[in-house]
Structures are given as structure tokens and as C-alpha cells.
Amino acid sequence: MPVTVTFPGKPAVQVKIFLGDCAQTHAGNERPSDLLNGSDSFFPATDTQDGIMFIHRDALSLLSVNAGIEFHEEVYRAETVATRQSARIDVEVELEDGTRIEGIMSYLMPENQRRLQDVLNLEDRFLILRDGDEALLINKRRIARIAPKPVQVQEIAVGED
């Protein structure tokens, strides 16, 4: 699976990662978020010359992948079924190295746990944002600041009688 990985203070690099046919925590194929939020500290990847390497997941700042890979159809079906428990929020993220990232967080949480803070404090090590056709998996340990984007209010001109 082709992805782009970024380490603090380094330029982004294209690599290929290996995903399983079956995920351990849900039905269907393994997603990049399953790999990054799993228990293994290192995962294999290949560079552009197919040279093997092992990447320490905690050293990553960001992994980006085609959104269709991360957001399978069953995720959308679950969100449709659980619309009363789902939330979407536009956020701005600043990493410890000053990198700024914007995207949309979508999550399913019980009614009394739908605050941004609740999601950020889950045990998952990587936060998932969607930015158009890309899924951005951000290492929470590398986040310096995150905030909801201000809601844009459009003024409507009222016509005179």
C-alpha cells in the first residue's frame, strides 16, 4: 500500500506498507490506522527501490494515504446507522515542529463523551483526519496544539421592500 510518511524535521517520504487481509479489531481488511494503533512498535515498509526497512511508529509525525483505503465502506455504513452518536468537526493541528494540518475529524462516541477532548484522550496513538481525498494519521505524541476551526458565518443581505 503506497503511503507518505513524515518524521519530525524531515521531508515527507513515499513508502509502501503491508496491510493484512483481516483486521484484528474489526471485520474486513486491515487499515493503516489499525497498523499504527496496534501493539507492535515497528512495522515493515519498502522504499522506492523496494529496499526493506522497519519504521518505529512512535517516531512518525504523520502518515498520509488515499482516503478510500482508510475509510472503507463499512465505516460509512456504521456512521449512517449511528448518526445520533456521530460527530464531525473541522480542526487545525499544529505539530511540535510547527507543521500545521487542517482536516475533518469524524467519530462515534456515546452522547456524554462527544467532546473533542474525549476523543483526543482515547488510547489510540494516531488521530485520523480527512482532507479531501487523503486520510491523515497524526501521531498524538507529536501534536503541540489542536483546536476546532472557527465556524464561518455568512451574512445574508436583506432586500428592501
Where are the domains positioned within the chain?
2-148
**Domain 2-148 architecture:** Roll (2.30)
Listing DSSP states for 14-30 in one string gives EEEE---SS-SSSSSS-
The overall pTM is greater than 0.85: no
Contacts of 141 (CB under 8 A, 6+ apart): 58, 125
The C-alpha atoms of residue 109 and residue 118 are separated, in whole angstroms, by 9
Q: What is the pLDDT of residues 82-129, one digit of tens each?
A: 455 567 889 999 999 999 999 999 887 777 777 888 888 889 999 999
CA torsion 115-64-143-39 (nearest 10°) is 80
Q: What is the pLDDT of residues 38-65, one digit of tens each?
A: 999 999 999 988 899 999 999 999 999 9
Q: What is the pLDDT of residue 79?
A: 46
